[in-house]
Amino acid sequence: MKGLKLKTGALCLEFANTADWHGSAHPQEKLQTYRDLVLWAQRIRLLTEQDTEKLLAEAERHPIDAQTALERAIALREAIYRIFSAIAHHRPPKISDLALLNELLSRALAQLQLKPTPEGFGWAWVERAEALDWMLWPIVRSTADLLTSSDLSRVKECADDRGCGWLFVDMSKNRSRRWCDMESCGNVAKARRHYQRKRVKQAPR
């Protein structure tokens, strides 16, 4: 989708990273409420301001449905994270995660339709405010697109051994990217290596 603000190279990975320290024993949840989910989608430009207002108004009218949508979103996110984390570490994904993805994919693809564009025709989503989880449809499609693309072999997980767990598509020329960000996990690892080398040099012989 054009216009998305993505740091990871793929919408589905952006969504997978909505929990901090995802690879640790104690991930930190960013999506505490349905409102958090909607505002995240607006921040990355998956939803417009008008979409956001419609969804939040609908959620206020149907709070139980909104909670169900949030729970479905979290379940999808965890499946996406486990699938691509496994792939990044050259392991086969769990059958149960692929089953959940396929279940949601069949529902999402049913909401696609062809629309005329200045260049011809293009795909568009059927926007339905009453479907409180419709922001998940393009995420599901993004997951399927990445799994079937040549970029799949470029999917990596941050090499930080504390459990950062951040997923990204490594688009560097020689596929040498290891960290979510050199300013965070990269610098920590660099400082650690420096400290260890210093200790080795200072150790009594």
Would you tell me the crossing angle of helices 95-109 and 136-147 to the nearest 10 degrees?
Answer: 120
- Residues 188, 161: Cα–Cα separation, whole Å: 10
Q: 179 with 160: CB under 8 angstroms?
A: yes
Q: How far out from the chain centre does Cα 47 lie?
A: 15
Domains of the chain, with CATH numbers?
11-176 (1.10.3300)
- What is the structure's pLDDT at 204? 60
Return the amino acid letter for 97.
D
The whole-angstrom separation of Cα 196 and Cα 182 is: 19
Please give the mean pLDDT across all residues of the chain: 90
pLDDT tens for each residue of 115-128: 999 999 999 888 67
pLDDT at 202: 59
Q: Residue 195: its pLDDT value, please?
A: 43
Once rounded to an integer, what is the mean pLDDT over residues 168-192? 77
Confidence of residue 180 (pLDDT cuts 50, 70, 90): confident
Picking from 168, 132, 138, the residue whose alpha carbon sits closest to that of residue 14 is: 168
For residues 47 and 189, the answer to whether their CB atoms sit within 8 Å is: no
Q: How far apart are alpha carbons 120 and 131 in whole angstroms?
A: 29
The per-residue pLDDT for 179 is 86
The percent of residues in the chain predicted with pLDDT above 90, rounded, is: 77
